[in-house]
Structure formats: C-alpha cells, structure tokens
C-alpha cells in the first residue's frame, strides 16, 4: 500500500477528533499572535527606555504575553507530539514494547497535566491576594492559564492514548520530497539551436 494511501487511511481513523484539529489550529494562531505581541512589546520597551520615556506598563504586559505563550504553546505542542514526549526512544521500537513505552510516556504527561490543573488552580486562587504594579490587577490573571493549559494537555493526551490503543502508535512517515521529485531540465546548449 503506497504511503499516501496509508496517510489517508490513518487520517480517516482519526476523524472523530476533528473538533480538536480546529482547537489546535486556533491555539497555534494564538501562540503566533502572543509571540509576535511579546516581541513587539519588548522592542517598544527598549525603544521607550532608550529615548528616556519608559512605558512602565509594558513590562507587565510583556510578562503576561510570555506566560500565556509558554503554557498555550505547551498544550499545542502536546497535541503535535513535540513537547513533553520522548519520541526518539519510542520511534525506535515496534510491537508490544512500543505500546508499553508510548502508554507509560503518556501516563506521565497525564500526571503532569493533573499537577498543572490542581496546583495551577490553587495558585490562581492565591493570586487574588497579590497585585501587579502599575496596573493594580490581581496576579491571578497570570495564573489563570496554568490550569487551562493542564486541561488542554490532559485532553490531548487522552486523545493520543485512545487513538494509539485503538489504531496503534506506529504512524507512517509522510512522503519525502524524493517521492515526488520534479525531473531536471537540461539547460545545456543544443548543437544547431538558435539563441
């Protein structure tokens, strides 16, 4: 069976998680916006300090963008198997040993997500006792993203566990560029051809 057909078949097996594909797309776009905003606010902070008129609220804004980008990025990377996941070990295995490593790895990630949910929520509640300057807002708004990230990581990990146990954790590699190579064009001068 050609690799492209295997990828289509694999994609059809995972169609029941379509809503999470859309959520992943939204989270990826949000990460991009947050990273761009972070870079822009750091640049503005440097420029305003250099010209002698610092905007004091920019540091608070920058730290909020940074914290939100980290935790949303961790959740998104979990869905994409790019973060909190040891791919080198599991990809070198096949059969029962691979299933065991994949399940154990995801159970560890699930335990970490439960810690994020529990302790992040406790920090969120405690955050109403401290306030950020110069805005005077409670620091809880920075901690809000921690349990939310834990919920998203748990959701994506459960999705991976269910899909992996039903369909297997072995995934075919996407087709390489060599599979669809464009033939080269001869650019040498042909004898008798006019320029």
The predicted model gives 148-164 an average pLDDT of 92
> Per the domain annotation, does 192 fall within a domain?
no
Both structure tokens of 130: 């401290």
> Per the domain annotation, does 80 fall within a domain?
yes
> Per the domain annotation, does 11 fall within a domain?
no
Whole-angstrom distance, CA of residue 64 vs CA of residue 26: 19
> Per the domain annotation, does 13 fall within a domain?
no
> Per the domain annotation, does 112 fall within a domain?
yes
Whole-angstrom distance, CA of residue 96 vs CA of residue 79: 23
| Residue 171 confidence class, pLDDT cut points 50, 70, 90 | low
> Per the domain annotation, does 176 fall within a domain?
no
- CA distances 33 to 40, 109, 126, Å, are 10, 26, 28
> Per the domain annotation, does 32 fall within a domain?
yes
Q: How many CB atoms are located within 10 Å of the residue 122 CB?
A: 13
Q: How many domains does the chain have?
A: 1
Asked if 94 contacts 170 with a C-beta cutoff of 8 angstroms, the reply is: yes
Which tens digits make up the pLDDT trace of 60-116? 999 999 999 999 999 998 888 775 455 667 677 777 888 888 888 889 999 999 999
> Per the domain annotation, does 126 fall within a domain?
yes
Residue 192 backbone phi and psi in degrees, to 5: 85, 0
- Is the pLDDT assigned to residue 25 strictly greater than 60? yes
């Amino acid at each position: 069976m050609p690799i492209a057909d295997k990828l289509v078949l694999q994609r059809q097996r995972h169609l029941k998680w379509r809503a999470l594909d859309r959520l992943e797309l939204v989270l990826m776009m949000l990460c991009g916006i947050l990273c761009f905003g972070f870079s822009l606010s750091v640049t503005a902070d440097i420029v305003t300090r250099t010209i002698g008129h610092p905007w004091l609220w920019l540091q608070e804004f920058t730290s909020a963008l940074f914290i939100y980008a980290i935790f949303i990025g961790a959740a998104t990377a979990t869905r994409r198997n790019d973060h909190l996941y040891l791919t080198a070990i599991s990809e070198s295995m096949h059969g029962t040993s691979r299933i065991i490593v994949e399940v154990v790895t995801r159970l560890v990630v699930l335990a970490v997500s439960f810690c994020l949910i529990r302790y992040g929520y406790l920090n969120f509640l405690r955050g109403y006792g401290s306030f950020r300057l110069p805005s005077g807002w409670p620091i809880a708004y920075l901690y809000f993203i921690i349990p939310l990230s834990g919920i998203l990581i748990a959701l994506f990990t459960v999705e991976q566990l269910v899909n992996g146990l039903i369909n297997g954790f072995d995934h075919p590699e996407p087709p390489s560029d060599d599979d669809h190579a464009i033939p080269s064009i001869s650019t040498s001068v042909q004898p008798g051809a006019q320029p």
